[in-house]
Structure 1
């Protein structure tokens, strides 16, 4: 069966994806992505490489240890990257200084030069960004890794509210189950809806989520029903320094400022600006209770210019000053 949307110079008979596994890669993200591909490639659960093909690429055949300790061997050397429609880099733990070797770095740069689409799975986006391969592309990362990404790559646009993003010749996903959603989207685009449906049914996934789906995360401090408001709250919590304008928050979810204000008033009986301040003060309260950081440092971190302004806003919201809260014994 010919593959739809084939590009010049790329084999058109099957969807071909190469995987690069970083040291301490996330096994679940890799397994969900490759199994979605495997099950879409053949009917039922026969696992034939009929409509798709895949390889784990490596500079050596040494076993690669995942973050849970399970080891995976490369199935192919670094063959011509032009043989693949996508090369997916699967990351994992961020506490390793060297997660890929120099040969792997060179291979990914060669793939980018040949216009092969590159995917960052889980923290694989950190690897691509470190190599300068995410410049000019929007990146999606887990909310868990959002601040680390901003600190390391302050000039790159990134968001932590969506589960994945496919941006021209780059893709990125938050990891975990979102790897299956991204893989399903690629299968639907390049093979067929039938192939996608077959994969999801065998995986017992009722329906693939789109790139607009909101990340599942720890409960927000303010409960809302509308998914657009949940996305805005995640952005607020990711920018507790208060630097994001309300209009920008609205635009990020496809709303005007006035529409966002109406939605917040409807669900919370408060304006977006008031909710944003509440989110910042909630973060300050957490820092007061869990750290020994000076109050002025906490005030600056959550976007207040001086300690007195911070103390007044904190007292009005929580009924006691930051100093008094810190002086209370921990129960």
Structure 2
């Protein structure tokens, strides 16, 4: 049984508690208490969240925790919590934060000289306020030694799945992910942004085209094919697509291919040739050029950076 302490702050967001559900499901699936979770706060007792309801907590104490998680907050964090966290490495094997909880780790000095992330909207603030931290704003979560940081609220689920996989293996982590109805799992190096969300089509017709393209990346996906899905002429389709998304069909399709290819490079051991074929780039050179245009780095470099974020050993990709 692994002990987990979860620190709540006043005005916490209910979504910040989602990570705890992953540990709960792991316990249920195993039919045993794999994770013994304690909710903590500076003074114990009820802590009122941003939605007005309260949760009962225990007072902070220097008992041993296999994992201490600092939740995010929409309010101020007290000095007592910062002092407690500063001393936590003495009695905690691993320390993690969700969303703006990273600011508590930063204030406690635990992120100095480390790579870290937080919600993208607060990353620049952290970078300016704590220049000793190597802030990477476009990451789901980062592991740097015994200290883990994650992005916004839902990234806490990815963080919890990563802990479950590290503690009890990939099979149980996949089972928990399926029961949560989430992908298993977004890697630490994966971007916080989504191509489909950024395109934001205004009509069902263009949304239908993008959904089709995302599911059929191995097709050519030229204008004629996509226009047929939209039941428009190629000329009408190109005009409507650019008006609604601000991008040409070709650029949008390349971005979709890049997003999936990057995910595969980060989360699988497929070769570069295999990833290129499965995402419709046809060959590794074409995919490499697209990666350089979009990310300024070739696929191999992104894969190595992801494995470094997860604390995994590097290897030469074929």
1:143: Cα distance to partner? 1.5
Partner of residue 27, structure 2: 41
SS in 1 for 2:109: coil
From 27, 34, 41, the counterpart of 1:58: 41
Distance 1:141 1:62, change over 3 A: same
From 72, 75, 78, the counterpart of 2:60: 78
Distance 1:137 1:39, change over 3 A: same
1:194: Cα distance to partner? 3.3
Q: Distance in 1 between matches of 2:166 and 2:9?
A: 27
SS in 2 for 1:197: helix
Indicate if the aligned counterparts of 1:41 and 1:195 stay in contact, CA closer than 8 A. Answer: no
RMSD (Å), alpha carbons: 3.2
Gaps of 5+ in 1: 1-13, 232-257, 273-331
1:191: Cα distance to partner? 1.8
Partner of residue 143, structure 1: 120
Distance 1:259 1:169, change over 3 A: farther
Partner of residue 125, structure 1: 102
1:101: Cα distance to partner? 4.1
Indicate if the aligned counterparts of 1:25 and 1:92 stay in contact, CA closer than 8 A. Answer: yes
Matched, 1:186 2:149: no
1:124: Cα distance to partner? 0.3
1:228: Cα distance to partner? 9.4
Partner of residue 198, structure 2: 219
Indicate if the aligned counterparts of 1:115 and 1:169 stay in contact, CA closer than 8 A. Answer: no
Distance 1:197 1:172, change over 3 A: same
Indicate if the aligned counterparts of 1:23 and 1:91 stay in contact, CA closer than 8 A. Answer: no
Partner of residue 149, structure 2: 172
From 15, 28, 45, the counterpart of 2:15: 28
Partner of residue 4, structure 2: 17
Partner of residue 308, structure 1: none
Indicate if the aligned counterparts of 2:60 and 2:84 stay in contact, CA closer than 8 A. Answer: yes
TM-score, reference length from structure 1: 0.59
1:52-96 Cα deviation digits (max 9, x unpaired):
11100124333222233332220x3334342x1110000222xx4
Q: Which runs of 4+ in 1 moved over 4 A?
A: 220-223, 228-231, 258-261
TM-score, reference length from structure 2: 0.61
Q: Distance in 2 between matches of 1:131 and 1:228?
A: 37
Indicate if the aligned counterparts of 1:25 and 1:65 stay in contact, CA closer than 8 A. Answer: yes
Distance 1:187 1:53, change over 3 A: same
From 76, 80, 90, the counterpart of 1:113: 90
Q: Distance in 2 between matches of 1:160 and 1:190?
A: 27
Partner of residue 205, structure 1: 182
Partner of residue 134, structure 1: 111
Q: Distance in 2 between matches of 1:27 and 1:107?
A: 23
1:198: Cα distance to partner? 3.0
Indicate if the aligned counterparts of 1:90 and 1:122 stay in contact, CA closer than 8 A. Answer: yes
Equivalenced residue count is 221
Gaps of 5+ in 2: 200-245, 264-284, 297-318
Distance 1:49 1:109, change over 3 A: farther
SS in 1 for 2:45: coil
1:107: Cα distance to partner? 2.1
Q: Distance in 2 between matches of 1:213 and 1:261?
A: 18
Partner of residue 51, structure 2: 68
1:203: Cα distance to partner? 1.4
SS in 1 for 2:59: coil
Partner of residue 262, structure 1: 289
1:177: Cα distance to partner? 1.6
- Report the structure, 1 or 2, having the larger helix content: 2
